[in-house]
Amino acid sequence: MQIASLFQDLSLTNIPTLLVSLSVIGVIVLSERVSNKFPGALLAIFGAIVSSWILGISSYGIAILGTMPEGLPHLSFPQVPLSNIPKILNLSVVCFIVILAQSAATSRAYAMKFSDTFNENVDLIGLSFANAAAGISGTSVVNGNPTKTEMVKSVGGRIQLTQLTTVFIVLIVLLFFTKPFAYLPTAALSSIVFLIGLRLIDLKGMTALHRQRPVEFAVALITAMTVVVIGVEQEIAIAIVLSVIAHLRHGYRPLNLLLVPKAGGAMRTIPLEKGEQAVEGLLIYRFGSNLYFANENRFTEEIISLAKKGGSLKWFCISATTLEILISPLQRHSKRYISSCKK
């Protein structure tokens, strides 16, 4: 487990490497205090390269990137021995799951943050072509990475021009500046990624989630701890299983409410226990899930119970804004939301 190996190897900490990491973090944090537009990370990288070149910090046990290949990658079809095919297939499945989960989650999260739209199918098609190109050029796996996305967002990147600018800079570095980057301490890069990872922790969002949806908060907390303690692959599997269980639980025991008017003409929700009518003789009931065989008994029992309690009840209205009755394909496709009001 990751957390166990961290504590086991704590005694092997290289103090000079730790100092490099703390220095990089300090430069970035202080620069952000001065101005959000100040390129603190770029300054930290430049300072780390210059310090490494002048002081020869690799002699103190500090790992550096070392020699990097110059120029553009060569295109060639990979030569793979048949005996390695099973291992490659297993690794490919793991990469596929990680790419699918991380890319979709990253796209969805940032689309919600900026009130934008996205298409998962388009993203996956683009990632497929990108990974095919990576396979014939010997480069790393292409993924919708949350830390790199947050890095671009933190410097103000919002449009496709940002990606094109990044590609241009990478090409310039590959063609002309690989030698200086050979002196870059790997700890400097790790520190930048560490800070970006901290920014991805949404404490306000988790607090709101705990207040509004405790079950989903528990799923989020368990999966987050799984990444820290065990690993990403296990976290994805656990997240899928817990999400399916939470979804089934919600469908079986949905949050059902009554609707009553509030000042200004809008509607507000109240618990079923209050039994309050919208107007004299009218009760508006909202079922909080799709209606299917597992929850139809609850649907019927609550309606009957509410009807018996309402002494002056004349009208019982079912608000079907979240309700889709799964009876026939015709109903599903011709009318997404079914509202009924019954005397």
Residue 267 has pLDDT above 70, yes or no: yes
More confident position, 49 or 4: 49
Residue predicted with more confidence, 212 or 280:
280
Give the integer Cα–Cα distance in Å for 90 and 17. 35
Residue whose structure tokens are 């920014």: 199
Whether residue 187 contacts residue 21, with contact meaning beta carbons closer than 8 Å, is answered with yes
Q: pLDDT class for 324, splitting at 50, 70, 90?
A: low
Reported as a single tens digit per residue, the pLDDT across 122-156 is 888 888 898 888 888 888 888 877 777 777 777 67
Closest residue by Cα to residue 184 from 24, 12, 13, 26: 24
The backbone region for 178, taken as left when phi is positive above 0, alpha when psi lies in -120 to 50, beta otherwise, is alpha
CA distance 46 to 184: 8
User: pLDDT confidence of 82, banded at 50, 70, 90?
Assistant: confident
CB 57 within 8 A of CB 21: no
For residue 179, give the nearest of 44, 59, 53 by alpha carbon.
Answer: 53
Higher-pLDDT residue of 123 and 326 is: 123
What angle is formed at CA 271 by the lines to CA 269 and CA 272, rounded to 5 degrees? 115
Rounded Cα distance between 235 and 220, Å, is 10
Tokens 């190109």, residue located: 133
Look up residue 335 and give its amino acid.
K
What's the CA gap between 269 and 288, in Å, rounded? 12
Neighbours of 103 (CB within 10 A): 21
Length of the chain: 343
> Which pLDDT does position 340 carry in this prediction?
42
Q: Is 335 helix (H, G, I), strand (E, B) or coil?
A: coil
pLDDT tens column, 182-210: 888 999 988 988 888 888 787 888 888 88
H or E element in which residue 285 lies: strand 282-286
User: Contact, 233 vs 278, CB < 8 A?
Assistant: no
pLDDT at position 343, please?
39
SS3 136: helix
Distance between CA 116 and CA 105 in Å, rounded?
14
How do strand 315-319 and strand 282-286 relate by DSSP bridges?
parallel
| Contact (Cβ atoms closer than 8 angstroms) between residue 308 and residue 300 | no
> In whole angstroms, how far apart are CA 205 and each of 46, 116, 134, 201, 238?
35, 18, 36, 9, 21
Q: What confidence category does residue 3 fall into, taking pLDDT thresholds of 50, 70 and 90?
A: low
At 322 the pLDDT is 66
Sign of the dihedral through C-alpha 278, 284, 287, 293: positive
Please list the alpha-helical segments (H only) found in the chain.
Answer: 2-8, 15-34, 40-55, 85-113, 120-137, 146-154, 160-176, 178-181, 186-199, 203-212, 214-229, 232-252, 296-309, 329-334
Q: Which residue has the tokens 């705990």?
A: 210
| Amino acid at site 34 | V
Is the predicted pLDDT of residue 330 greater than 60, yes or no?
no
Tell me the whole-structure pTM to 2 decimals: 0.64
Say which DSSP state 182 is in. T
Model pLDDT, residue 312? 81
H or E element at residue 106: helix 85-113
Q: In the chain, pLDDT over 90 holds for what percent of residues?
A: 5
Is the predicted pLDDT of residue 333 greater than 50, yes or no? Answer: no
